[in-house]
Amino acid sequence: MNKSILKKGVFLITLFGIFMLFSCKKGPGDGGRASIKGKVFTVNYNSSFTVPQDSGYLGAQKVYIIYGDETAVGDNQDTNNDGSFEFNFLRKGKYKVYVFTKIQANHIDSAVVKEVEITDRTQTVEIPDFKIKTSKN
């Protein structure tokens, strides 16, 4: 009788553990096999922000990502020399990717945000180029 109760208890605990393992859905963030990639393009102005000086893809520009409905930055990275960036190992879900640009009138930084959704666990989402303004000092 005791062995039977013990076997049933072990079975129920095992079944509960398996149920909990498969019922937990993980939202956006690290730990997956998907990725988001893109590039940052800039128009560089003079210090008074009146005349464009040059333009091109921008290296060493900080790019940020926010996971789902979070309010804090999930990760960040610098662009490569060709202006490209890639956030790897992401799970399915919604993301916000952003960079900072100068506002012409007052030279204050402002975020340029792109919303992205990963719908397949191995998907690579390529977002359109970020187009930002910078100024030479």
CA 120 – CA 137 distance, rounded (Å): 44
Per residue in 70-111, pLDDT (tens digit) is: 999 999 999 999 999 999 999 999 999 999 998 766 667 899
Burial class (CB in 10 A: 0-12, 13-18, 19+), 10: exposed
Q: Is the pLDDT of residue 114 over 90?
A: yes
Q: What class, spelled out in words, does domain 30-135 have in CATH?
A: mainly beta
Q: Compute the distance between CA of residue 114 and CA of residue 63 in angstroms, rounded to an integer.
A: 11
Question: Do 30 and 88 meet the contact criterion of CB atoms below 8 Å apart?
Answer: no
Alpha-carbon distance values, 119 to 32, 34, 71 (Å): 12, 9, 21
> Could you tell me the pTM of the whole model?
0.79
Q: Is pLDDT above 60 for 20?
A: no
- The rounded distance, in Å, linking the Cα atoms of 35 and 56 is 24
Residue type, 44: N
